[in-house]
């Protein structure tokens, strides 16, 4: 295990014919090359994440929260993560409902952990979705990372599974370096003192 621990890269879209796995695969390659983390790519399409939630909030129910059996591996992998990169498209100027559902089924899994964003879409490069996610993750006591990546018009700016922009890898390095710093600091802090949520 590295000092920064485990990085979960979350593919936020579950749509048929989605582009998300292409972006996530490139991000995972950048993270592996960067070397600060053990990398785990989480595809939300692999799990049962219903829209109907239990009556209670996961904030108070803790481990007893009644999640579907098909969500268990997702919850375990979110629990095990020390940092997250959320890979999100933009749907109607926000992020997909699949991602919101996965976020809302959990609470402590996000708390006192750093989260960075890689977005893609049309002209805005998915930035509307990433901005909304920053708001939401703050409510869950996560720490959002300033430097994100946004890929506008991905349908003309990516080829063969990679962005054509030669500066993209450098921006990914900046994001990963900041994420590593926060992950190491917060991992130590969580081990020393329970977070006062």
Ligand X SMILES: Cc1cc2nc3c(=O)[nH]c(=O)nc-3n(C[C@H](O)[C@H](O)[C@H](O)COP(=O)(O)O)c2cc1C
Applying CB under 6 A, the residues found at the interface with ligand X are 13, 15, 18-20, 89-93, 121-122, 124
DSSP state string for 105-167? T-STTTTT-EEEEEEEESTTTTHHHHHHHHHHHHHTT-EE-S--EEEETHHHHEETTEES-TT
Cβ contacts of residue 172 below 8 Å, gap of 6+?
A: 27, 30, 34, 149
Q: For residue 7, give the H/E element and its range.
A: strand 6-11
Structure tokens of 139?
Answer: 């409510």
Given the complex with ligand X, which of 58 and 121 has the nearer CB atom? 121
Residue 178 near residue 147 (C-beta atoms within 8 A): yes
Residue 136 near residue 104 (C-beta atoms within 8 A): no
- Taking the complex as a whole, the smallest distance from the CB of residue 11 to ligand X amounts, in Å, to 8
CA–CA gap between residue 56 and residue 43 (Å, rounded): 26
- Taking the complex as a whole, the smallest distance from the CB of residue 130 to ligand X amounts, in Å, to 12
- Taking the complex as a whole, the smallest distance from the CB of residue 20 to ligand X amounts, in Å, to 4
Given the complex with ligand X, which of 133 and 143 has the nearer CB atom? 133
C-alpha distances in Å from residue 179, one per residue of 3, 50, 134, 164 = 12, 30, 15, 24
Given the complex with ligand X, which of 124 and 169 has the nearer CB atom? 124
- Taking the complex as a whole, the smallest distance from the CB of residue 131 to ligand X amounts, in Å, to 13
- Taking the complex as a whole, the smallest distance from the CB of residue 106 to ligand X amounts, in Å, to 21
Q: Between β-strands 143-144 and 38-43, what pairing exists: parallel, antiparallel or unpaired?
A: unpaired
Given the complex with ligand X, which of 38 and 134 has the nearer CB atom? 134
Given the complex with ligand X, which of 150 and 186 has the nearer CB atom? 150
- Taking the complex as a whole, the smallest distance from the CB of residue 158 to ligand X amounts, in Å, to 11
């Amino acid at each position: 295990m590295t000092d920064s621990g485990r990085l979960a890269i979350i593919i936020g879209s579950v749509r048929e014919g989605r582009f998300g796995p292409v972006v996530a695969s490139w991000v995972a390659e950048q993270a592996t090359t960067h070397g600060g983390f053990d990398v785990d790519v989480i595809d939300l399409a692999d799990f049962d994440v219903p829209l109907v939630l239990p009556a209670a909030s996961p904030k108070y129910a803790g481990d007893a929260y009644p999640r579907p059996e098909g969500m268990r591996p997702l919850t375990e992998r979110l629990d095990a993560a020390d940092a997250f990169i959320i890979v999100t498209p933009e749907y109607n100027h926000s992020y997909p409902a699949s991602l919101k559902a996965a976020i809302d089924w959990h609470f402590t899994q996000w708390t006192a952990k750093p989260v960075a964003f890689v977005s893609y879409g049309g002209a805005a490069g998915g930035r509307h979705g990433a901005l909304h996610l920053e708001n939401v993750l703050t409510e869950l006591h996560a720490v959002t990372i300033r430097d994100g990546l946004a890929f506008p018009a991905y349908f003309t700016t990516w080829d063969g599974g990679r962005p054509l922009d030669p500066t993209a890898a450098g921006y990914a390095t900046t994001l990963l370096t900041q994420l590593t710093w926060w992950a190491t600091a917060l991992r130590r802090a969580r081990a020393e003192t329970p977070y006062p949520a």
